[in-house]
Amino acid sequence: MVTMTSQPYDPLTDGLYFGESPRYRDGQLYISDMTGRTVYTIDVSTGKKQVLLEVENQPNGMCFHPDGSLVYSSMFDAKLYKLKDGKSTLYADLSHVMTGYCGDMVIDRAGRVYIDDTGARVLHGESPRAGRLLVVDTDGTVKVAAEDIIFPNAVFISNDGKNLFVAETFRYGLLRYDLGGDGQLTNRQNFWSPTSLPDLKVKKEDMATNMIGIDGGCRMLRVVFG
């Protein structure tokens, strides 16, 4: 059974053009401002926003590597970079595989990165097409992990590492896959179907049973399983 409750909220900061992929670490919220071409850190106690880096081809998804460094995407040229000790280096070039734009991403315990491929470059005049998930293995190999996802959006892994979830925005649903120890995604399930346009984020402290969703009415919902 899935139940939903709404929660009151207060603004943390402002001045973002198109915020995406919020990631929390050590008292700081990291967020991509896609249209603003900037990645910021935000102090969660004060709301103070600072520029971390600028990305000419627009940042989108981000995740933290097991070594503590930040992996972030360059959306329009389909590349991933790794920020460590203040220096960015190329982590993976997805341009030979990516059919759309880099979207959200998540990393598993082994260091494999799963990233949305939106399926079409709609901002460059292409008609929408089904997207997919790509996986960047620890040796740098890039391959397709899952297909036929209508605008893949937020993606996350359960606390026990056994399931990967992805919001399928334009099919109005949340997909769940079994995540194998070898990184394979199997047993696709239509896990949850809200009324409109899901973009899901996970509540880290109880990831196995709770997640936060934003629906088409701009409502923030807490989804409880069980």
- Structure confidence by residue, pLDDT tens digits, 113-124: 999 999 988 889
175 Rama class: left (phi>0) / alpha (psi -120 to 50) / beta: beta
User: From CA 184, how far away is CA 201, in angstroms rounded?
Assistant: 22
User: From CA 203, how far away is CA 189, in angstroms rounded?
Assistant: 21
Q: Which two tokens stand for residue 22?
A: 């919020």
Instruction: Give the count of domains, the chain.
Output: 1
Per-residue pLDDT, 202: 45
> At 216, which CATH number?
2.120.10.30
Is 174 in a helix, a strand, or coil? strand
Please indicate, yes or no, whether the overall pTM of this predicted structure exceeds 0.85: no
User: Lowest-pLDDT range, 21-30, 119-128, 177-186?
Assistant: 119-128
Range of the domain at 176: 2-225
**Residue 188 binned pLDDT confidence (cut-offs 50, 70, 90):** very high
Is 195 in a helix, a strand, or coil? coil
Q: What is the rounded end-to-end Cα distance, in angstroms, of the chain?
A: 5
